[in-house]
Amino acid sequence: MALALRCLRPLPSLLLRSSFAMGRGLPQAPRGCPAPLLEGCRQCVQQMLPSRQLATKKAKGKGQSQAKVNISAALVEDIINLEETSGDMQAVIEALKEDFSRNLNVRTSPGALDHITVVTKDGKFPLNQLGQISQKSPQLMIVNMTNFPESTAAAAKAIRESGMNLNPEVDGTVIRVPVPKVTREHRESLAKLAKQSTNKSKEALRKVRSKSITQVKKSKNNVSEDTIRLLEKQIQQMADEAAAEMDKLLAAKTKELLG
């Protein structure tokens, strides 16, 4: 009885609040409130308001993070071959991995010279098809060009321009390749080359993306704008993921080179 009287004391103001609450659509008083006829006492209304506001904030938060686009390649095969686009992007990544493995190592080995491309009057050939590569000592590699003596100068030029920081010396049909010492400067030079290679690969990746988007836009007269937009977003998403993978490869290679 005493609890009911306490709720009835602020009757005038509560009546005004009650009509305001009804206009705003506030919820009814919860069960157990001692003054149900007044649409809930002041304490009940105050308890209900924060939960209403919190729910509104949560609702506003929904939908802020957009899901990734994942279009089935089979559904759009008449517009673009997404699997081919993915394959082209992956090929760029694999080429970067191969470049890191062959050309960017702290210690140069004979195997690192195998696939250096030599430009001759008869075409382009890997160095190991023109000369015999061996390691004379930890500080010296030898390329014997006896079988193709006319390509000796071209081979030396290819080694010098390989980006491996090598300075070959020609002695007849023999090319001596001093192995640089593993200094801090050499490590930093290799790390810069790794960064340059990554930038070139990203440029190749952008070309793949641009080519694919151009192909999609050619179908704008046959498909809806929403479809075109979703495909462009899908291709951009694929390119972003490939670029992120390249960044990871670069970070790992830089850590390896700098020690």
CA torsion, points 145, 146, 147, 148, in degrees to nearest 10? 50
* 185 vs 68: which has the higher pLDDT: 185
Q: Which range, 39-43, 165-169, 174-178, 181-185, has the best average confidence (pLDDT)?
A: 174-178
Domains and CATH numbers, the chain: 73-103+183-258 (1.10.132.20), 108-178 (3.30.1360.40)
**pLDDT tens digits for 43-95?**
443 443 333 333 333 444 444 445 677 776 776 778 889 999 999 999 999 99
Report yes or no on whether pTM surpasses 0.85: no
The predicted structure's pLDDT at residue 92: 97
**Whole-number percent of the chain with pLDDT over 90:** 45
Q: Which of 51-55, 206-210, 220-224, 240-244 has the lowest mean pLDDT?
A: 51-55
For residue 191, name the pLDDT band (cuts at 50, 70, 90). very high
**Torsions phi, psi for 57 (to 5 deg):** -65, -40
CB count in 10 Å sphere of residue 161: 12
